[in-house]
Structure 1
Amino acid sequence: MNSIENAIGELCKIILPIPEESYLGNPHSSIAICTLSSMNLLKKISNSELLNHISIAGRLLSENKGIDSIIKYLNQNKKVKTLIVCGKEVWGHKAGHSLIKLHENGINEHGRIIHSISPDPFLTSTKSEINYFQNEINLVNIINETNLETIKKYVN
């Protein structure tokens, strides 16, 4: 990132503070949920019995640092084998799209997610970490689904 992008990023943190939110559930579960930008959905999950049936629920707002965080989490928590991607896509960033493309295609030699349409889809995750994500994680793509009852069906 260049200095202008860094300055804009820092300004956004002040003007639009978005907390780093994730909720831990059952440590024995093999399922994680990513609600993309749907913070209300994330709150509903955190306050429902569904949290007892999943390992973690969190959001994803960026096509780079956010995806890197998910990759690191999954590599450190080998019990998780399924990632359900739901909720509304992040306008402009298309973080969900990039996560799906990463699972399908990986990264190129520059760390760019292959076939991503996001503006800055460059990761710092290693090829090994990404290979684990691609080969060991079942990705369930229900982007735009915000109905808690429908999402529960994918967990069961």
Structure 2
Amino acid sequence: MNVVGEAIGELCKIILPIPEEYYFGNPDSSIAICTLSSINLLKNLANSEILNHISIAGRLLSENKGIDSIIEYVNKNQKIKTIIVCGKEVSGHKAGHSLFAVHKNGVDENKRIINSTSPDPYLTVSKFKIQYFQNNVNLVNLINETNYAEILKMIKIF
């Protein structure tokens, strides 16, 4: 990660704090939902009965720490087999794109996500954890889908 980018990120945390939000559901479920930057979609999911049918619903705002967190979570909670990625993509960061890129391509020797178009796609998790994520988790691409009913239909398929 470059020093200027890291400094800007720290400044943004102070000036424009964005809470990391996630909601736990049924710990026995194999499904997780990532709403990218769509906070209203996340709140709709969190305040509905669907939370009884999914393990966790949360946001993904960054192509580095956010993806690290997802990979760590699925390694610790190995019941997760499917992540539905929906909601609006994070402008500039393209965190959803990078999540799919690491799932498909992994990281290079510098831990940069291969074929990512994000500005700072460097991960800190181990290659072993990334490989577990690649081999054991199915990603469902609903990026830019914000229609709650459409997302519910997808959940019912699983």
- 2 CA distance for matches of 1:90 and 1:5? 16
Partner of 2:89 in structure 1? 89
* Residues 61-108 of structure 1 deviation map (CA, whole Å, 9 limit, x = unaligned): 000000000000000000110000000000000000000111111111
- 1 CA distance for matches of 2:7 and 2:119? 17
Partner of 2:5 in structure 1? 5
Return 10-19 or 115-124, whichever deviates more.
Answer: 10-19
Partner of 1:74 in structure 2? 74
Partner of 2:65 in structure 1? 65
Structure 1 residues 150 and 105, CA gap change in structure 2 (3 angstroms) = same
**1:19 positional shift:** 0.6
* Residues 98-153 of structure 1 deviation map (CA, whole Å, 9 limit, x = unaligned): 00111111111110111000001010111110111111001101100011111111
**1:7 positional shift:** 2.5
**1:20 positional shift:** 1.2
Secondary structure of 2:72 counterpart? helix
- 1 CA distance for matches of 2:104 and 2:5? 28
Mind listing any 5+ residue stretches in structure 2 that lack a counterpart?
A: none
Q: Give the aligned residue type for 1:104.
A: K
Q: Give the aligned residue type for 1:145.
A: E
Partner of 1:101 in structure 2? 101
Task: Count how many residue pairs are aligned between Structure 1 and Structure 2.
Answer: 156
Describe how 1:2-151 pairs up with structure 2 within 5 A.
Answer: 2-151=2-151
Q: TM-score, normalised by structure 1?
A: 0.97
* Residues 4-35 of structure 1 deviation map (CA, whole Å, 9 limit, x = unaligned): 32321122112211111100000110000000
Which 4+ runs in 1 deviate beyond 2 A?
1-7
Secondary structure of 1:154 counterpart? helix
Q: Give the aligned residue type for 2:20.
A: E
**1:47 positional shift:** 0.4
Q: Give the aligned residue type for 1:90.
A: V
- 2 CA distance for matches of 1:154 and 1:3? 41
Partner of 1:152 in structure 2? 152
Q: Give the aligned residue type for 1:22.
A: Y
